[in-house]
Amino acid sequence: MPRLEIDLSKIHHNTRTLVDRLASKGIAVTGVTKAALGDPEIARAMLQAGVDSIGDSRIENIQRMREAGVAAKFILLRTPLMSQVEQVVQYADISFNTEPSIVESLGRMAVGKHKLHQVVLMVELGDLREGILPQDLENVVRRVLQYPGIQLIGLGTNLACYGGVKPDIEKMTQISDLAKLIESRFDLPLPLVSGGNSANFEWFSRCLKVGAINNLRLGESIFLGRETLERQPIEGLHTDAVTLVAEVIESKIKPSLPYGEQCQTAFGARPIFQDRGAIRRAILGIGRQDVDISGLAFVTEGMEVLGGSSDHLIIDCQRRPLHVGDEVKFRPNYAAMLAAMTSPHVAKVLHWTPESDEESFPACPQTDISPPSHSAGLGSWPLN
């Protein structure tokens, strides 16, 4: 305790449902494992459900999956660090790039290792995270094509992450047209045109033609069953594949208002409190060091998060008395799940739902990810 409970059967179901739905318009899925720190069993569940490739932002996570024997095409989604080009060439089949100098270094490393490293160039379409400006794209392509050891295989873009810019029909038409332009101008086939992430679900649902786009990178919609523009549930997907469980370490009736002279909290805030009189409060053994407490929703209604410090989460139990040792369950949003996954103080427990309906959750082949007889820690199942 505390722990994240991850239902692999629901991850598998969500992945398979999205893969089938997107395939109806010719779009393949890259399963994104960065929120799970590249857990090999989660990657296997995605692969068995039909993803085309596995993508991650950290080369260390890709290395972890490689060394665990996960057989997949691996894509490094974040522009490589110059200091990690050797690892990128060794462990990633494809990397997303925006800087010619890094691509040149990847090429030199690939030549030295007698490899050919594939790259996708990311294009800036307004979200202002990573990307080459459209007016600079032809010059960058021209440079990249001169680098030995490098094969340019596609274009991509990223929206709704930093600036919250919507991947609408206009933006998707723009990246599609740019791909067609580069193919024509350089007589160069681009087999991979990646239009975005889980935020693209509305665009996909409404568009009649996807143009040149043939790939989406999905993480949050697989893990949490939601699109990421308004965080609405996606029909047919599970929204409860991930549960955070924390333990009660104190339960008392206390005043709702602190007393004494107030200054800053440990995190530099000056909180405002509402006078509710004496309330039934519980403290859970988890805190801001482990999770984004603003991203937690109670599984059971009738409680409220009041706040927290580094190692304590304080809740108003309202009319639900809790006792020391009791467990409280939450549905984390993406930010909370990502933080909890990263914390070494939060156990990760993977399990397969034994009562899953076969039509919804077909049995996975025994060769890769058969459910164990008991819950296992993250990545601790035996590999076949």
34 assigned to active site: yes
Selected residue with higher pLDDT from 319 and 326:
326
Does a structural domain hold residue 285? no
Write down the residue that tokens 């392509």 correspond to: 141
With residue 222 as reference, give the H or E element that holds it: helix 220-224
Rounded to the nearest integer, the mean pLDDT of the chain is 92
Does a structural domain hold residue 84? yes
Does a structural domain hold residue 142? yes
pLDDT for 43: 98
Task: Label residue 264 by pLDDT band (50, 70, 90).
Answer: confident
Does a structural domain hold residue 362? no
Does a structural domain hold residue 214? yes
pLDDT digits 0-9 by tens, 233-253: 999 999 999 999 999 999 999
User: Residue 106 belongs to what domain range?
Assistant: 8-224
pLDDT digits 0-9 by tens, 141-189: 999 999 999 999 999 999 999 999 999 999 999 999 999 999 999 999 9
Catalytic residue among 10, 34, 171, 348: 34
CATH value at residue 194: 3.20.20.10
Rounded to an integer, the average pLDDT of 98-105 is 98
pLDDT digits 0-9 by tens, 39-88: 999 999 999 999 999 999 999 999 999 999 999 999 999 999 999 999 99
Domains: count for the chain: 1
Does a structural domain hold residue 247? no
Write down the pTM of the prediction. 0.91
